Amino acid sequence: SQQGEEDPQALSIQEGENATMNCSYKTSINNLQWYRQNSGRGLVHLILIRSNEREKHSGRLRVTLDTSKKSSSLLITASRAADTASYFCATDEAAGNKLTFGGGTRVLVKP
Amino acid sequence: ETGVTQSPTHLIKTRGQQVTLRCSSQSGHNTVSWYQQALGQGPQFIFQYYREEENGRGNFPPRFSGLQFPNYSSELNVNALELDDSALYLCASSAWARGKLFFGSGTQLSVL
């Protein structure tokens, strides 16, 4: 079973626009991570936010975490065609690197 | 690109057969985790190995088993293959409790 649920399941935007995707989870967590996957191959770590953090930035990425609502959001600013991929949130309940992934958001950035 | 390598990249088996998938972890990482990803879904945790011992298991039957070797490389074995075992199998290595996972490119298993 999957703990996280991403919303929307799919997103289509024009290059230069911002992309926002949301993740909800069910249990308490130690940290929440976002990963990117191109064409069904390996996942690439994007950003990790700990349960005592509310917002984190990395380049064009901004992640927020609301533990009271058990939700997180990932914002990609000024999107590029190369950002086309599936994005997954993953929760780690006990800092043991055993991640529970959501179903993912498929993002298409049109040039 | 991560230092995690998986082999083979693709594999076709028939129902009832057994399969072994291999993973070499990134240098300096002592923890290896395996995930199963069905088409259109997120990865599901199979199990994790830390210092050659199983250290946690997801909701997978005993016919899914694994090994970790002294050099921290790992194998995933699946016995009595079923059609539903068709999926992308991902290996990920990490330093213990450091959070971030480094994934290999996966092995695409098709069971006919």
For residues A48-60, average pLDDT: 97
pLDDT at A95 over 90: no
What is the pLDDT confidence band of residue B85, given thresholds at 50, 70 and 90?
very high
What residues pair up with A49 in beta bridges, in sequence order? Answer: A32
Query: How would you classify the pairing of strands B31-37 and B87-94?
Result: antiparallel
Which of B44, B88, B101 lies nearest to residue A97, judging by beta carbons? B101
- Chain B residue with Cα closest to A49: B99
Report which of A74, A41, A58, A42 is spatially closest to residue B93, judged by C-alpha positions. Answer: A42
**CB proximity under 8 Å: B 23-42 to A:** 31, 33, 35, 37, 39, 41-42
Question: For residue range B64-75, what is the model confidence (pLDDT) as tens digits?
Answer: 999 999 988 999
pLDDT at A1 over 50: no
A93 secondary structure, DSSP code:
S
Torsion of CA B26, B32, B34, B35, to 10 degrees: -70
3-class DSSP state of A26? coil
Q: How far is A78 from chain B (nearest CA, A)?
A: 24
pLDDT at B13 over 50: yes
Rounded to 5°, angle at Cα B94 from B77 and A45: 105
pLDDT at B2 over 80: no
pLDDT the model gives residue B29? 87
| pLDDT, mean over chain A | 93
**Contact: B48, A95; criterion CB under 8 Å:** no
3-class DSSP state of A83? helix
Residues in A closer than 8 angstroms to B55, CB to CB, are: 96
For residues A30-56, average pLDDT: 94
In this structure, what token pair is assigned to residue A89?
Answer: 């949130």
